[in-house]
Amino acid sequence: MIRYRQRQALALVLAALALPTLAPVATAGTTIPEAATDIAASAVIDRAESERRKPLYSVVNKTRLPASEDAHDYFSFAPYWWPDPDSDDGLPYVRRDGEYNEATLGDATDKQRLIDFIDTVNVLSWSYRLTGDERHAQRAVAQLRHWFVTPETRMAPNLRYAQAIPGRVEGRGIGIIESRLLIGLSESIRQLAPSPALTDETLGPLKQWYGDYLDWMLTSENGRKEHSKRNNHGTWYDAQVVAFARFVGRPALAKRQLHEALDRLEAQFEPDGRQPLELKRTRPWHYANFNLAAWSVMLREASALGLTWPEEEADRTRLAAAYRWVADHAANPDDWSYQELHGFDPAIALPNLVTAARHRLLRDDSLLQDSGRIGPLFQRWVQDPDRDSAMAATALLSLAKAPTALP
């Protein structure tokens, strides 16, 4: 049960739903059911104390080194690649799209460690916001310093060796998609801004790290390759550049990337909203929503920059059709005709639909207007045993407010 003080803080989060975003974008009053937000807040608060006792995470703790032999370099394996059963040593690995190789999440590499680190900071920072418990802010800052600042344990600001494939390649541009989680982490850092724990001596190096990583994305061969991708990889590249540029105080770069991102609309979305590049995958519903999630990030970031984006009516119409297509299928799951490797879950569309409605791209969406229909879906989204409850909970709390600026 959330205590009275926590409910007061939670009320502030809920109140943000009724407020416009950071202008001049006109916003729709989109309701996230209070019961679902209560569940999210409870999940975060309940978990925060155990997260406060978690060890400090660092990339130097991996048991296997990347090709650079530098433990400070982030290192991961491609998740959809598996040992070749017809090869004595399993090399080179072979691709099985949509089938996640859980061995890629072991201690040998950094992907699960990055997920756990960000999950911990997200929980601690949101618990601090909800409860005012300085111990949670202090531990979140300690985690951030250990990962990004402390010379002995900091991560180098690059993903050269992300999504390596044994027997094939030491790292790929595609691996940059793994740093999309840093977008949400930047919002968690903002939640810590009122705390004395987040001093200028910490915030400055954090923003410097993000800025250095942003420059690596913009200038490296891996970054250029990812930028050139036509599908969700390219969209998530754009979303990261926009979010990181705003975080480090480079609004001109963020605005430029938003403008360039619109060039993807025609290639990604049919006039009726279908996404051919994502629908041909083995998990089409997941990837259609995954790609839209990057567009949702850019909608929120553009609003925080004070922009009406997309500005041109033709661009807004094309993007709105994509959200409408997803909304229609979320509301009518029995009509889904694409083959799914892992089934169809309408609830994963909800964050995208809330964002689209808030930015007036779903003005007449009956799914979101009818709280009796959306309430159970939101609760399922938070409580789904196949989805990490804390990450889902912090994402829902983030969705309930507009992006904020650092002091």
Residue 13's pLDDT band (boundaries 50, 70, 90)?
very low
- Map tokens 């119409």 to a residue: 317
Asked whether 17 and 29 are in contact (CB, 8 A), the reply is yes
Segment 108-133 mean pLDDT: 96
Length of the chain, in residues? 407
> Residue 365's pLDDT band (boundaries 50, 70, 90)?
confident
Q: Is 95 helix (H, G, I), strand (E, B) or coil?
A: strand
**The pLDDT value given to residue 386:** 65
- Which carries the bigger pLDDT value, residue 12 or residue 358? 358
Give me the torsion for CA of 303, 308, 309, 313, rounded to 10°: 150
Q: In this structure, are residues 26 and 39 in contact, taking their beta carbons and an 8 Å threshold? A: no
Q: What is the mean pLDDT of residues 342-355?
A: 91
Q: Which two tokens stand for residue 238?
A: 């754009």
CA distance 264 to 244: 20
> Does 125 score more than 70 pLDDT?
yes
**pTM (predicted TM-score):** 0.90
Greater confidence (133 vs 28) lies with 133
Q: What is the pLDDT of residues 146-184, one digit of tens each?
A: 999 999 999 999 999 999 999 999 999 999 999 999 999
Please count the other Cβ atoms lying within 10 Å of the Cβ belonging to residue 221. 9
pLDDT of 10 higher than 60: no
> Residue range 222-245: average pLDDT?
98
pLDDT tens digits for range 36-90: 888 889 989 999 999 999 999 999 999 999 999 999 999 999 999 999 999 999 9
